[in-house]
Amino acid sequence: MKRFTAWRRRPWAGYAVVLAALAAIGVIYAGFTPQSDRAEAANATQAAADLENGRQLYNKNCGSCHGLNAEGTKDAKGKPIAPSLLGVGAASVDFQVSTGRMPAMNPGAQMPRKKPVPDFDTTIRTDYAEPEKREAAEKQKAQAEKNLADLREYIQKLGGGPEVPPASAVDPKGGDVAVGGKLFRTNCAQCHSFVGSGGALTGGKYAPPLDKNDVTPTQIYEAMLTGPQAMPVFNDTTLTPKDKQAIIAYLVQTREEPNPGGNGLGRIGPVSEGLAGWLVGIGLLVLAAMWITAKKPKKLKKS
């Protein structure tokens, strides 16, 4: 006992206690939580492996902000740093990760769309000439697709939520484009602008452009379903799946449609038109005026 009391006073004693406590918690945690996982996964070892892959990907890429149990984190003042992911569903994960918004680089008013991290980058090119390079790229792409699917499944398992829509629900050919235009103008244009070229929002937030081809129909559908970042949720009672498909049809057709009147000037309305009028119109005419007035008649009869 005397010996123990002496240890208690050693400089490393505090660390040792913390370490012991952490180990104890770890053991207890390991004793409870993974057991249920293991019980569920006992049916199919492959599913368990996938889920484990999803969990590891989550811990590696997401856990530092969203918390190890996806419960979200708050800063010292209680202000949320990252939201809880319980119940956000696979659709949300698919949207955020496939558009590269998550994992986020740095906290800001809004997470920008960017190239997804290599683990989840399903957009890499595979059309290399060299067979070995092509094979490697194809393998990497397949792995990225599997990773994304595993991560979706892991979050879906945690708390449920909206699933990734099937291909038939997002096919632009299946939507009524006239209805879609009407719905888009009523529900979306106030932020995304009339053809989806994007717009500014309050406090440094913005509605991202939808008129680029890298915004896939699935992502548009998932965004409506889950309401990422500043966007409101348009659930299936506000906009039925058919409405959502119509909006996708409108957006895809509009961005693929050529401008019958010439250069579209960015399709952002009268601002760029005024700029073109001044720079090109008045610019050219001033040059013409200078040229015309610089011309002196060779011989002019005295009048």
Shortest CB 296 distance to another protein, Å? 8
> Which has the closest alpha carbon to 192: 136, 251, 238, 104?
251
Q: Given the complex with another protein, which of 80 and 112 has the nearer CB atom?
A: 112
Least distance in Å: CB of 100 to another protein? Answer: 17
Look up residue 256 and give its amino acid: E
Q: Would you say 13 or 285 has its CB closer to another protein?
A: 285
CB 60 within 8 A of CB 120: no
- Closest to another protein by CB, 131 or 204: 204
Q: Which residues bind another protein (CB under 8 A)?
A: 109, 177-178, 181-182, 185-186, 189-195, 197-204, 206-207, 250, 253-254, 257, 259-265, 267-271, 273-278, 280-282, 284-286, 288-290, 292-295, 297, 300-301, 303
Task: Tell me which residue has tokens 């993974």.
Answer: 34
SS3 204: helix
Query: Cβ 287 to another protein, closest distance in Å?
Result: 9
| Shortest separation between residue 111's beta carbon and another protein, angstroms | 14
Give residue 176's identity as a one-letter amino acid code. Answer: D
The CA distance from 49 to 31, in Å, is 19
State in angstroms the smallest separation of the CB of 106 from another protein: 15
Q: Which is nearer to another protein, 63 or 199 (CB)?
A: 199
Radius of gyration of the chain (CA): 29
Contact 81, 65 (CB under 8 A): yes
Q: CA 266, CA 137: separation in Å to the nearest integer? A: 35
272, burial (CB in 10 Å: exposed 0-12, middle 13-18, buried 19+)? middle
Pick between residue 91 and residue 191 the one whose CB is nearest to another protein.
191
Q: How far is the CB of 255 from another protein (least distance, A)?
A: 11
Our CB check for another protein shows the closer of 72 and 199 to be 199
